Structure 1
Amino acid sequence: MSLPSVRSLASALLLAACAGSAWAGTAHRPTAQVPGVYHQQIGALRVTALFDGTVALGRQELVGIDPGAVTRLLDHRYVPEDGKGLQTAVNAYLVQRGRHLTLVDTGTAQCFGPGLGQVLGNLRAAGFDPTEVDDVLLTHAHPDHLCGLLDAQGQMAFPKATVWLSAADAGYWLDPASEAGAPQGVRFAFALARKAVAPYDRAGKLRRFTPGQALPDGVTALDSHGHTPGHVSWQLDGGNGQSLLVWGDIVHFHAVQFARPDAAFEADSDRTAAIASRRAMMARAADQGGWVAGAHLPFPGLGHVRREGQAFAWVPGEFAPLR
């Protein structure tokens, strides 16, 4: 290093030390983290992860696995846990291809109370107007994925957008008859789903589809039912062999379910099918080597999957500046 460079570095360190001393003496310090926005270039796709907040999931909600095994898997994983449960992120993803904007899932909006409902604000913080969104792809019809279709006034948050929901999930969650026969603990979600999609349905902007039908260019819906009857994972083609798999709720407990894909979530509508879908999506991601985005992976929830024997492991993406 040249002498001027050494002097420049010394000056910078001195300024930083002075700033640190001044900061230490201030009475008021920020308590909020930086905005929940992260960008990743994947081929022709510019992906923006949007943080909605966190929920607490109790370790007892993992079923089909011995509690001792859960404890061992959580040991030294440093997942924050309090009296309510394990900290679990809620994420959504905006995908930009040229001028076309696709939002995958929408967060909780007003449905789950304080600490959540940040997707719309973070979308604006990322420099996008919600009225610019062309398509909204829903992985499934649970409140933490579709309540964000509405703004704080109960109006369409994305008035230009076409909303895509699988016919199987629409047929179940939008049907009052299904609500009457559903377990008591999930009945609250039916009214929330109907309310969220209603204005889009009235405007002719709700598209019910089955995997294999025509979808927006470069988008494929993969059947990954089990968590809900019509849960889908979305694969978006970035060109040049690059892709993004947004797999929704394939994983809720990342510290456990990669190592033990057979560990089901109490809220899964069909646990056997959910386990099969989890194995299939993890195998697909590991074998293809593409990018994965998960609604309940630690923010920004972007990375890759690798095989570890008969199980899998999560490989978080490295921070990278946009090109």
Structure 2
Amino acid sequence: MLNPLKRTLFAIAAATALASAAHAAAPMVKSPSPGFFRLMVGDFEVTPISDGTVDLPVDQLLHQKPEQTRATLEKNFLKVPLETSDNAFLVNTGSKLVLVDTGAGALFGPTLGKLLQNLKAAGYQPEQVDEIYITHMHGDHVGGLVHDGERVFPNAVVRAGKADADFWLSQANMDKAPADKKGFFQGAMASINPYVKAGKFKAIEGNGELVPGISAVAEHGHTPGHTTYMIESRGQKLLLMGDLIHVAAVQMDNPQVTIGFDSDEKAAYAARKQVFDDAAKKGYLVGGAHLQFPGLGHLQTQGKGYRWVPLNYTQMR
């Protein structure tokens, strides 16, 4: 039996231990929420899906003085390398499940390649995807099509602009490309060819509707066959514009600034101006592959450039 003094000391020690435990800091989780968002465009459910982010030395990539890029980023509380989103968009029309772009897969390192886990977190399985529309065949848009050489989306038909397919899937073009550009061809071939072999690839040869409510519109320049996709339901529109813009903080104010990834700089700028002018005039929603996730918003003209108005956060109702 403990004497009264020892019992008192024991009780104080126990109470102190419990109080310390109760006030201890909870462990840090250090992981983000699943990268998906959701909205309705008319009767269509649209789910932007994050493939992750990648740090880009945009001061070396944009075609203006590096110090000018760095100064603009600093004014926007950003820095180089710029953490850049890589977005895809899943569209459920009610009769078709269509994925626009697929992220980088294993082509760009561990900070990307998250599309599949986020697609599943959003409530879908890769086997459910009916069609995949590729804006262009750069690796950060097609890499998610395959895993270890096998098709990730076994039931999907993949579609992309014919000019992109003719260019990036050509062995002759890869052979004559500079050494630092060959990887673009290798990534496209590794990602697209398994679908070609399975009879699951179909080139887009002109503008027009692919499935009811989703149309392809050629906007060449960034690549030879770069294609945008217009989603339309009950009078509401969303244009998925791929890589018409990469660095909003710079290129909204100065849309003439192009980037080293552009195949044809003049055509890329012309496509951006044409699309942005139309979106600003008509007020429809746009989605960009490299705008900050979820990459959705509206455009307004502002001086010689544009103002980006991110979509207001909304719940599904």
TM-score, length-scaled by structure 1:
0.88
- Superposed, 1:276-291 pairs within 5 Å as 276-291=270-285
Instruction: Please say if 1:305 is aligned against 2:304.
Output: no
Structure 2: how far apart are the matches of 1:30 and 1:127? 23
Shift of the alpha carbon at 1:42?
1.4
> What is the match of residue 292 of structure 1?
286
1:178-223, CA deviations, whole angstroms, 9 ceiling, x for partnerless residues?
Answer: 1122233221121221111122112211011122255222222122
SS of equivalent residue, structure 1 residue 278: helix
> What is the match of residue 169 of structure 1?
164
Shift of the alpha carbon at 1:22?
8.0
1:55-91, CA deviations, whole angstroms, 9 ceiling, x for partnerless residues?
Answer: 1221333444344542443232122x35xx1111101
Instruction: Please say if 1:229 is aligned against 2:228.
Output: no
Asked whether the equivalents of residues 107 and 144 of structure 1 are also in contact (C-alpha less than 8 Å), the reply is: yes
Q: Aligned in 2, Cα 1:272/1:31: closer, same or farther, shift over 3 Å? A: same
> What is the match of residue 45 of structure 2?
46
- Superposed, 1:18-97 pairs within 5 Å as 25-26=24-25, 28-79=27-78, 81-82=79-80, 85-97=81-93
**Aligned equivalent of 2:207, options 198, 212, 230:** 212
**Aligned equivalent of 2:237, options 226, 236, 243:** 243
Asked whether the equivalents of residues 64 and 262 of structure 1 are also in contact (C-alpha less than 8 Å), the reply is: no
> What is the match of residue 114 of structure 2?
118
Structure 1: how far apart are the matches of 2:149 and 2:43? 34
Q: Aligned in 2, Cα 1:199/1:303: closer, same or farther, shift over 3 Å? A: same
Instruction: Please say if 1:102 is aligned against 2:98.
Output: yes
Asked whether the equivalents of residues 139 and 231 of structure 1 are also in contact (C-alpha less than 8 Å), the reply is: yes
Of 164-173 and 205-214, deviating more is 205-214
Asked whether the equivalents of residues 61 and 265 of structure 1 are also in contact (C-alpha less than 8 Å), the reply is: no
Root-mean-square deviation (Å): 1.8
Structure 2: how far apart are the matches of 1:127 and 1:134? 15
Q: Aligned in 2, Cα 1:290/1:71: closer, same or farther, shift over 3 Å? A: same
Asked whether the equivalents of residues 73 and 249 of structure 2 are also in contact (C-alpha less than 8 Å), the reply is: yes
Unaligned stretches of 5+ residues in structure 1: 1-20
Q: Aligned in 2, Cα 1:26/1:179: closer, same or farther, shift over 3 Å? A: same
The sequence identity of aligned pairs, in percent, is: 39
**Aligned equivalent of 2:251, options 251, 254, 257:** 257
Q: AA paired with 2:194?
A: P
1:272-314, CA deviations, whole angstroms, 9 ceiling, x for partnerless residues?
Answer: 1111111111112111211111100001111111110221011
Of 228-237 and 205-214, deviating more is 205-214
Q: AA paired with 2:185?
A: F
> What is the match of residue 193 of structure 2?
198
Structure 1: how far apart are the matches of 2:86 and 2:303? 29
Q: Aligned in 2, Cα 1:23/1:225: closer, same or farther, shift over 3 Å? A: farther
Of 215-224 and 55-64, deviating more is 55-64
> What is the match of residue 6 of structure 2?
none
Q: Aligned in 2, Cα 1:301/1:199: closer, same or farther, shift over 3 Å? A: same
Of 180-189 and 250-259, deviating more is 180-189
Of 67-76 and 191-200, deviating more is 67-76
Unaligned stretches of 5+ residues in structure 2: 1-19
TM-score, length-scaled by structure 2:
0.89
Structure 2: how far apart are the matches of 1:53 and 1:22? 36
Asked whether the equivalents of residues 37 and 294 of structure 2 are also in contact (C-alpha less than 8 Å), the reply is: yes
Of 192-201 and 269-278, deviating more is 192-201
